[in-house]
Structure 1
């Protein structure tokens, strides 16, 4: 990546995390697949409502918890077969107006599709930050 592109990507990722934090203040929750995904978002500065899908006993338990406690569910699941299958399962069991998939699309755009797993955000950020400094 060119230095200018790195600077833009860093700024866009910072804005992305800031936006997620603001959503959390409005009683939204961000859902990722596992602990490494949580660690990556925390590394980038996310301080809001965040849970791992695998923390729950199944999709019904997950949907019941989220719909009872939050106004919006922001899905940041991996862009692999497993993540797509989980997304499909969640969408089939809840009101789609409750679910926000736009952040996943924004992340794919910011990273130009290079991040397939949320846990890769940390290494991507470190790599582009180092490239920006040089």
Structure 2
């Protein structure tokens, strides 16, 4: 299989994944690390609730605030060391608080884009780049 064909297949898979994630976001809030992540998702057409991890409180307080409002969330932290630690810690906290969480989209993005980008804020730029190809 040629590299170009693999790139085309990956591009299609990423587009489908983002479309599915955007659809899920209409019902389930997405948790991201920062404001740039929110802006990137909005530029990609996400219109559901997106919650930024609140840096002014402990992660436990943040998780408790989310648990009061949400029964289910999608965790979409970056795939750098900090993002991995946040995903792991929030998973444990949400488990203890009875909040259902989804890591599947994050894991799929890591699998597909690890070589291309390392964070959520780069998703929009990635899509601009592949649109031009």
- Using the size of structure 1 for normalisation, the TM-score is 0.80
Q: Count the aligned residue pairs.
A: 129
Aligned to 2:22: 21
Aligned to 2:42: 42
Secondary structure (helix, strand or coil) at the match of 1:119 reads helix
Aligned to 1:124: 126
CA contact (8 A) 2:44 2:124 kept: yes
Alignment CA distance shift 1:71-1:15 (3 Å): farther
Highest relative contact order (Cα 8 Å, sep 6+), 1 or 2? Answer: 1
Aligned to 1:12: 13
Alignment CA distance shift 1:94-1:75 (3 Å): same
Per-residue deviation at 1:65? 2.2
Aligned to 1:67: 67
Aligned to 1:101: 103
Unaligned stretches of 5+ residues in structure 2: none
Moved more, 14-23 or 35-44: 14-23
- Using the size of structure 2 for normalisation, the TM-score is 0.80
Deviation digits for residues 38-92 of structure 1, max 9, x if unmatched?
1111111111110111356221222122222223111111111111121222123
CA contact (8 A) 1:10 1:129 kept: no
Is 1:77 equivalent to 2:104 in the alignment? no
